[in-house]
Amino acid sequence: MDACRRQVTRSGFVVLDKPAGLSSARALDAWRPKGGRRRSRPRIGHAGTLDPFATGVLLVLLGEATRFARMAMGLPKTYRATVRFGIETDTLDPTGEVVRIADAGPVAPPALDAAIAAQLGSVTQAPPAFSALRVDGTRAYRLARAGESPRLAARTVRIDSIAIRQSDWPEVTLDVVCGAGTYLRALARDLGAALGLPASLRALRRTAIGPFVAAPEAPSIRPLIDLLTAAGIPSLHVDSARALRFAQGNAIPGGGDGPQVAVVHGGEVVGVGRVLPGGDVCGGLVLRSARESLEADNRIRRG
């Protein structure tokens, strides 16, 4: 654990395989720096929360990579979800109290395929009451645990594909690819509703975020450029003079088609800039550490 903490000295990310029983925040503990003043510690965060009962890929963002959390959360996510038809819990997962039971019958109903097809594309989904969304400043799950019924507005989410991996009715295991903000617990509930049955998740594993999958070996810090490339941001490799100009807020040539480009010098990301109509690059997000390093090198060169 201490070896992990000593590595958190630069911007990057870790592809973590979260075990069951830990919240996403607690799963970061092995990478969270200890000691020193809190405000001086490197920042750390994650992209895309996993419920404590769920396992699988969690992207841990380190240092200034936390500023790119929105890009990381926008990557498609792949899940393996086991839905149990005929039983619904208040949390829509195996940690909750059973609130409804119904006879699901001996075999899967013919309407199952149609119910799955109806969930593809841009769909309207009501988040579960037990969720981390805020209602008037309070987490919805806190209200639900207190016996209240939080009012959560339905929202549009994207589900790219759903494939039946295994059917052992009344349990069905699905492989799901979806966009940010999709609740697999809500998907289980909605599939059950389409069949006239209560339903909830029995198990959930996130198998990938974008191209990133959990590796069997111990996780290590990956460079920020890998995350930006996965998000579809092209790279512009520049010399030190252009890198410094960009880092100090000036436009530099060579942006390409845009709309954004990662400015890279010496294999390290300087920042992500906007591509202007004429092809120049400026603005956007600059890493403070990169700017300070470039300015220090420039002072040394100038003597």
CATH of the domain spanning 2-75+211-224: 3.30.2350.10
Q: Where are the domains of the chain?
A: 2-75+211-224, 77-209, 233-302
Considering the four listed CATH numbers 2.70.70.10, 2.60.40.10, 3.30.2350.10, 2.60.120.260, the one that applies to the domain covering 77-209 is 3.30.2350.10
pLDDT at 9: 43
pLDDT at 39: 55
Residues whose CB is less than 8 angstroms from the CB of residue 69 and which lie 6 or more positions away in sequence, other chains included: 45, 47, 61
Identical fold between 2-75+211-224 and 233-302: no
pLDDT at 87: 97
Q: State how far the Cα of 41 lies from the Cα of 288, in Å rounded to an integer.
A: 15
Tokens of 62: 């380190």
* Catalytic residue, candidates 2, 51, 226, 280: 51
pLDDT at 258: 73
| Residue keyed to tokens 């019958």 | 105
Contact 44, 59 (CB under 8 A): no
233-302: CATH superfamily: PUA domain (2.30.130.10)
pLDDT at 128: 83
- Record the pTM: 0.87
- The question of whether 103 is a catalytic residue gets the answer no
pLDDT tens for the chain, 303 residues long, are 344 433 434 689 999 999 999 999 898 888 876 655 555 467 899 998 899 999 999 999 999 999 999 999 999 999 999 999 999 999 999 999 999 999 999 999 999 999 999 999 999 998 887 666 666 666 666 766 766 677 777 899 999 999 999 999 999 999 999 999 999 999 999 999 999 999 999 999 999 999 999 888 888 899 999 999 999 999 999 999 999 999 999 999 987 777 999 999 999 999 999 999 888 999 889 999 999 999 998 888 886
pLDDT at 127: 86
For residue 286, the cross-strand partners are: 271
pLDDT at 12: 92
| Residue keyed to tokens 């589900």 | 159
pLDDT at 130: 66
